Amino acid sequence: MDGIHDLGGRQGYGRVRYTLDAKAFHAPWEVRANALYAGAVRLGLFNMDEYRHAIERMAPLHYLAASYYERSLTSLLTLCVEKGVLTREELEQRAQGAVPLASPSAPGRANLPGRERFAVGDRVRVRLDAVPGHMRLPGYIRGKTGVVVGESPAYPFPDAHAHAVEAQDEPTYDVRFRSEDLWPGSSDAALIHVGVFQSYLERTEPPPGA
């Protein structure tokens, strides 16, 4: 899905703020929230693609205002309510106030029919896919062309895995893009590598003279 979470490669948000040698946790509740989410995954309550998708479904203003662990906690609570572990009313009674949850999920999808295998050196184009459910396709590479430089082992296909849709595992391909192709006239020359699932790619012909 397209949402406020997909900020990679976008302009106009100012400098990225960061702290050198920052601590992983800044308060005891963050440790507890992280432990609860990790425990839920280990118990099989939900998988990582479901977890990511619940964060994607947060209201944009809530997402932007929330810290990393607030987003994690929102995802955890949303999935616990959706899976019947507890109710929103129980949460709000315990919190003594409103508990913001993510919006409802949309349908997922299975693997792309007739998807191809690629080899190192193949020139590929990222499909112009836009789906209402979960996907792991960064918006800034959509429709762009690059070269395959590696292949990973197969993983659960996220578009299906986040929605309990039956699908085959897929490899991701390490695709190398030129920064000038991703952001024409707006970047220094560089090579950008992105892991791209098989269903997101299609073969393309080499450029003239290549």
Residue ranges with strand state E in the chain = 123-126, 145-155, 170-178, 191-197, 201-203
pLDDT by position in tens, the chain (length 210)? 888 888 888 888 888 888 899 899 999 999 999 999 999 999 999 999 999 999 999 999 999 999 999 999 999 999 999 999 999 999 999 999 999 999 999 999 999 998 999 999 999 999 998 899 999 999 999 999 999 999 999 999 999 999 999 999 999 999 999 999 999 988 889 999 999 999 999 999 765 555
Residue by residue, DSSP assigns 96-115 as TS----PPPP-----PPTTP
Q: Between the CA atoms of 120, 122, 128 and 133, what dihedral angle is there, to the nearest 10 degrees? A: -20
Model-wide pTM > 0.85 = yes
Residue 70 and residue 62: Cα distance in Å, rounded? 9
CATH architecture, domain 123-203: Roll (2.30)
Q: 37: closest CA among 5, 78, 6?
A: 78
1-98, what's its fold?
A: Cyclin A; domain 1 (1.10.472)
- Domains of the chain, by residue range, sit at 1-98, 123-203
Gyration radius of the chain over CA positions: 19
